[in-house]
Every structure is written in structure tokens, then in C-alpha cells.
Amino acid sequence: MTADESARGNTSNQGSEAHHREHRGEESVSVPSVVKRSPASSERVPTMKAGRFEIRWGRVAVYVVLVAAALFYLLPVYLLLITGMKSFQEVSLARMWELPSGLHFDSFAKAWLGREAEGIRGLSENIMNSFYLAIPATLISALMGSLNGYVLTKWKFRGANALFTLMLFGMFIPYQSILIPLVQTLQRMQLYGSIPGLIFVHVVYGLPITTLIFRNYYAGIPSELVEAAKIDGAGLLGIYRHILFPISMPGFVVVMIWQFQSIWNDFLFGVIVTSRPAVQPVTVALNNMAGSYIVEWNVQMAGSLLAALPTLLVFIFLGQYFMRGLLAGSLKG
């Protein structure tokens, strides 16, 4: 008997046995196949479970640390808010952390509108002065820093590195050491005591950091793009306008957020350059709100919160774009 005939015989025998079971009403029982696991696979299961257990606890620890850090950094805002809602009689060091007796916004109204009878000048006009100062100075310094970074990286010339070093050196000169020549220069330019004079000062002193950021950002852009544009006949400004400027948004976001908060929070140049209260920025006006003999801390805290609100909103709504710009390489190098 051949192998094929024996295989057909076994198949027919199995079929007949199944037919007899069905005829007798017996159920066929399927025997599950036994899969042998290797020792290595059997040892992986507790290791994976243990790994998930460790990762879960590690994640919990990270969130606990982040929440604790957020609460710690929000303590000043909490203190400003509850103190601003208190009356003058409620404000004291012993009751500093206590909640106010109610939701009172009289201190915020007094800080915003002022009160001539008590000699308190409101912050509403000075906050607008800070906007008139910060927005143009931020835009101009960002654009000029972008052009400087573009020229220093893609249009190399003799002495470019030395010029860039001198510009960076300007970042480390203490502002207090140049106040007298600064005032004299602004007086000769007929810009002293005005918002345009403050804009000029912040643009000049913002150029080193904006140039540094854009130079590092443009260093990561392939020079082949610029060379191809030169072959196509594009000039200096044409290459910047059509090639580099459209891909510079991450760098502009970082520079503009940085410059806006730096200019908004500046006090030294504001108090030196502008002597008239009508044109002073909000930081100087907030300092002038404190009286000579008595300080209404509830009004002072309310005014501080109002003065800090624009920069808080900028980081709340644009903070993610700031981090994207940092990760995109605008501060590398």
C-alpha cells in the first residue's frame, strides 16, 4: 500500500467516525492546541507590568512637582488679587494671606481712574503710553534685528564677525553708565521727554539681542536657497522678502514676545527719559502712586496687577508659540 492510499484511508476512517458520532447524537469535542511558551516570553510579563507600574508612578511624581511649582509661582498673583480686593483697614502683615471680607473692586477703580482729591493719578493714560511705546519699539527692533541677522549670516563681508562681536558687547554695558550721554544725545535730537525718544532708546538697546536671535536662526537655513535666488536674479532685499521672511515666523514670535515684556517692564529708561507724568509709562506711574507719608497697599497692589496684566496675557495666550520658536532653533548656538 502506498503512502497516498494510506492517507486517504485515514481520512475516510476519520470521516466515518465523525458521521457515527453525529448519528448517535454525540457532540464532537475540539481539543485546544497547547502552545509552549519559551522561558524568555514567560519572564517578560512581570517585567512589563513592573515597567508600567514604575512609569505610572513616575508620571504622577512629575505632575505633582509641576502643580506645586505652578502654585508657588502663582502666589504673587494670588496676593495681588486678594490685597487689591481688601479695604485699607484690612491690609496688614498679620492678615496678609487672609481672604477679603467681600468682592470689593474699589481699589482697582481707584488705581485705574485715580482720585484728584487725594492726589492719586490713575494708570489708564500711562497704560496707553506703554502700549504706544512697546508696540512700535517691538516691531522696529524685531525687523531691524532680522535684517541684521540676515546680512551677517547670508551676505558675509569683511569684518562681519567683528561687527557682530561689538554689537553683542553692547548688551553687557550697564545702563546706568550711559545715562548722562544718553540724555544729552536725546536733547540734541529733540527727543528728550517724549515717547518717540523712549522708542528710539529701546530700539537701539534691543538690537543686540534681536540680532543674536535671528543670526542663530538664519544660520540653520541652508545657504543653497540664497544661492539659488541669486542665480535667479534676486537682490539683497528680494531674497529677504521672498525667501527668508516667510520662514522667519518662529524667530519673530520669540523676539517680539521677549522685546514686548522687556520694554513693558522697563523702569530705568522711563523715569530718566520722560519727566512729565502725562507721557510716562505705566511702571513709572505705578511708582509715583505711592504717597510720601502713607502707602495704600490695596490700591498699590491693584495697580500692580493692572500693570502686569498685558504681559500675563501675552504669555498665557502666546506662550506655546514662544516655546515652539525656541524649539525651532531661534536660540540655538
Domains of the chain: total: 2
Distance of alpha carbon 6 from alpha carbon 13, whole angstroms:
11
Tell me if 29 is assigned to some domain: no
Residues 187 and 251 in one domain: yes
For the entire predicted model, the pTM comes to 0.77
Instruction: Let me know if residue 151 belongs to a domain.
Output: yes
Evaluated on CA atoms 129, 124, 142, 179, the torsion sign reads positive
Classify residue 15: in a domain, yes or no: no
Q: Are residues 224 and 91 part of one domain?
A: no
Q: How far apart are CA 274 and CA 125, in angstroms?
A: 14
Q: Using the CB atoms, write b or e for 125-155: b if 16+ within 10 Å.
A: ebbebbebbbebbbebbbbbbbbbbbbbbbe
Q: Note whether 265 and 255 are within 8 A (CB).
A: no
Answer with the one of 73, 104, 135 that is the final residue of a domain.
Answer: 104
What is the distance between the alpha carbons of residues 273 and 184, in angstroms, rounded to a whole number?
10
Residue 105: name the closest of 308, 316, 306 by CA: 306
Cell triple for residue 278? 502725562
Same domain, 167 and 93: no
Per-residue tens of pLDDT for the chain, all 333 residues: 444 544 444 444 554 554 444 444 444 444 444 444 444 444 444 444 545 545 578 888 899 999 999 999 999 999 999 999 998 888 888 888 889 988 889 999 999 998 877 778 889 999 999 999 999 999 999 999 999 999 998 887 888 888 888 888 888 888 889 999 999 999 999 999 999 999 999 999 999 999 999 998 888 888 888 889 888 888 888 999 988 999 898 889 999 999 999 999 999 999 999 989 899 999 999 998 876 667 888 999 999 999 999 998 998 888 777 777 766 655 555
* Residue 304 belongs to some domain of the structure: yes
Question: 126 and 88 in one domain?
Answer: no
Distance of alpha carbon 10 from alpha carbon 271, whole angstroms: 105
Enumerate the H helices of the chain as residue ranges: 3-24, 39-84, 106-113, 124-154, 160-169, 179-188, 195-219, 223-231, 236-239, 249-264, 268-273, 282-288, 297-325
**Residue 267 forms part of a structural domain:** yes
CA distance 243 to 153: 14
Beta bridge partners of 114: 121
The answer to whether residues 188 and 67 belong to one domain is no
Residue 320 and residue 186 share a domain: yes
The pLDDT, as a whole number, for residue 290 is 78
pLDDT, one tens digit per residue, over 59-85 is 888 999 999 999 999 999 999 999 999
DSSP state of 90: G
pLDDT confidence of residue 157: 84
- Nearest alpha-carbon partner for 219 in 151, 172, 276: 151
Q: Are residues 97 and 128 in the same domain?
A: no
The residues pairing with 120 across neighbouring beta strands, listed in sequence order, are: 115
Same domain, 233 and 85: no
Q: Are residues 194 and 302 in the same domain?
A: yes
The CATH number covering residue 212 comes to 1.10.3720.10
- On whether residue 22 sits in a domain, the answer given is no
The range of the structural domain enclosing residue 218 comes to 115-330
Distance CA 256, CA 235 (A): 27
Question: How many Å apart are CA 154 and CA 226, to the nearest integer?
Answer: 7
Instruction: Give yes or no: residues 89 and 146 share one domain.
Output: no
Residue 109 maps to a domain: no
